[in-house]
Amino acid sequence: MTYTENVRLALQSIKSNRLRTMLTALIIAIGLSALVGILTTLDAVKASMTEAFSSMGANSFNIRNRGSGIRIGNGKRPKPFKSIRYEDAVKFKQRLNAPANVAISVFASGGSTVKYKQEKTNPNINIQGFDENGLGSQGLELTLGRNFSASEALANTNICIIGSEIAKTVFKNESPLDKVINVGNNKLKVIGVLAEKGSGMGSSSDRAVYVPLYKAKLINSNANPSYTITVAVPNKAIMDNVIGEATSTFRNIRKIKIKEPNNFEITKSDSVAQSLDENLKYIVLGGIAIGAITLLGASIALMNIMMVSVTERTREIGVRKAIGANPSVIRKQFLIEAVVICLMGGFFGIMLGVGIGNLISFSMGGAFLMPWTFIITGFILCVIVGIFSGYYPALKASKLDPVEALRYE
């Protein structure tokens, strides 16, 4: 008997036992949707995190008083060095003798409220300071207005650039440009509005007010703030040379002796993305383990249902053997039936998993993902689970004695 005939018989059996088939396929669908959903979600998380850091520029590096602090599980947070002062950062920008663009930024205050006339925001607005190069270093774009000038960045100028969410909340349909707003205890004139960007890594430029660097120094709520220096180079080929020059320059500014180690951290923006990728591998392995356990439970349930099916169809097996079907044909029929049921459940499970993963991706502001690797792997797993779950019931059916099977019931 050909495989085509066995498939036809398997489909006939599935059709005649719709409820049992649906329940069995549902078990497989739940197992695979869990596996594919977890892996698709992790892909979405990885894409979101990588995009958040890649906005800093592939050819840039940061000078901070501590590392990125990215860690998984019980990883230790990097020990901070002494803060990078405003004066240190400005001197570095003036002294660096390299073909690079230097930006300075600092976190000034959090939990502020923005007010304009009768309208105000929730007290969740961050105030950040940067210089004329800050927009580019943080991957921000303007939709209205202008950027700070170099002279404004180093002066006590009461101007600001606001995020898109703030503009929508307090100005409604009115243009924010040249309007004076209250940000905490400060009155600032709006000169620019940022393009909507969404949240990334727990923060959002849409709910932030950006002020000139020196103004941020004056209003900073932290008594000892640490400034971040971002250096962007035009060509990745000269990255190491610029890092060497920057290290030497900043060591001189910080008055570090020759034999003493650096008391600051230099972190490449692409190394942050690579660190995330390395850490996410462990999460992916955890997701695969959870999905595999769920799928194992589904395969055991399928085997149990196939055993019930063999018991219910003992007389049918006896008739087929009596008219000439050999054990190999019987075994193939039940194996193919288990695989077909798995593929049916797998199709719906994979589609459900992809849908769940993409819903989470959309909620994170990500794009639609079609994880072809996981989809193809899912269908291969369906065949493997079908063979694994159906082999013993099929073997049992093939070994039934035809005389005893005909006398069954």
* More confident: 133 or 308: 133
Lowest mean pLDDT among 41-55, 137-151, 254-268, 340-354: 41-55
Report residue 202's pLDDT band, with 50, 70 and 90 as the boundaries. Answer: very low
pLDDT of residue 22: 83
Q: What is the pLDDT of residues 2-20, one digit of tens each?
A: 667 777 777 777 777 788 7
Q: What is the pLDDT of residues 232-281, one digit of tens each?
A: 888 878 888 999 999 999 999 999 988 888 888 888 876 656 666 676 77
Lowest mean pLDDT among 53-62, 161-170, 247-256: 53-62
Residues 213 and 280 in one domain: no
Q: Indicate if the pLDDT at residue 72 is higher than 50.
A: no
* More confident: 159 or 46: 159
Residues 244 and 328 in one domain: no
Please report whether residue 64 resides in a domain. no
* More confident: 315 or 131: 131
pLDDT of residue 208: 93
The dihedral formed by the CA atoms of 105, 111, 114 and 115, expressed in degrees to the nearest 10: -150
Residues 236 and 112 in one domain: yes
- Give the separation between CA 65 and CA 62, rounded to whole angstroms: 10
Please report whether residue 38 resides in a domain. yes
Residues 240 and 311 in one domain: no
First to last CA, the chain: 28
Q: What is the mean pLDDT of residues 303-325?
A: 82
pLDDT of residue 271: 62
Residues 235 and 337 in one domain: no
Task: Quote the domain boundaries for residue 362.
Answer: 3-52+275-406
Please report whether residue 61 resides in a domain. no
Lowest mean pLDDT among 124-133, 145-154, 263-272, 387-396: 263-272
Instruction: Note whether 174 and 129 are within 8 A (CB).
Output: no
Using CA atoms, how far residue 91 sits from 23, 155, 252, 308, in Å, is 71, 16, 10, 80
Q: What is the pLDDT of residues 330-366, one digit of tens each?
A: 888 888 888 888 888 888 888 888 888 888 777 766 6
pLDDT of residue 190: 95
Residues 211 and 89 in one domain: yes
- Give the separation between CA 204 and CA 213, rounded to whole angstroms: 19
Residues 246 and 110 in one domain: yes
Q: What is the mean pLDDT of residues 84-101?
A: 92
Q: What is the mean pLDDT of residues 80-97?
A: 90
State the chain's mean pLDDT as an integer. 82
Cut 0.95: pTM above it:
no
Q: Where does a domain end: 231, 263, 295?
A: 263
Residues 249 and 321 in one domain: no
Q: What percent of the chain has pLDDT over 70?
A: 87
Q: Where does a domain end: 197, 229, 263?
A: 263
Residues 87 and 225 in one domain: yes
Report residue 77's pLDDT band, with 50, 70 and 90 as the boundaries. Answer: low
Q: Indicate if the pLDDT at residue 211 is higher than 80.
A: yes
Length of the chain: 409
Lowest mean pLDDT among 139-148, 168-177, 277-286, 351-360: 277-286
Residues 196 and 313 in one domain: no
Based on the structure, what is the number of domains in the chain?
2
Q: Indicate if the pLDDT at residue 405 is higher than 80.
A: no
Q: What percent of the chain has pLDDT over 90?
A: 30
Using CA atoms, how far residue 64 sits from 52, 78, 201, 271, in Å, is 18, 12, 18, 15
Q: Where does a domain end: 263, 286, 318?
A: 263
pLDDT of residue 253: 93
Report residue 26's pLDDT band, with 50, 70 and 90 as the boundaries. Answer: confident
Q: Indicate if the pLDDT at residue 201 is higher than 50.
A: no
pLDDT of residue 193: 94
pLDDT of residue 316: 79
Residue 316 CB contacts under 8 Å (≥ 6 apart), including other chains: none
Residues 87 and 224 in one domain: yes
- Give the separation between CA 56 and CA 191, rounded to whole angstroms: 23
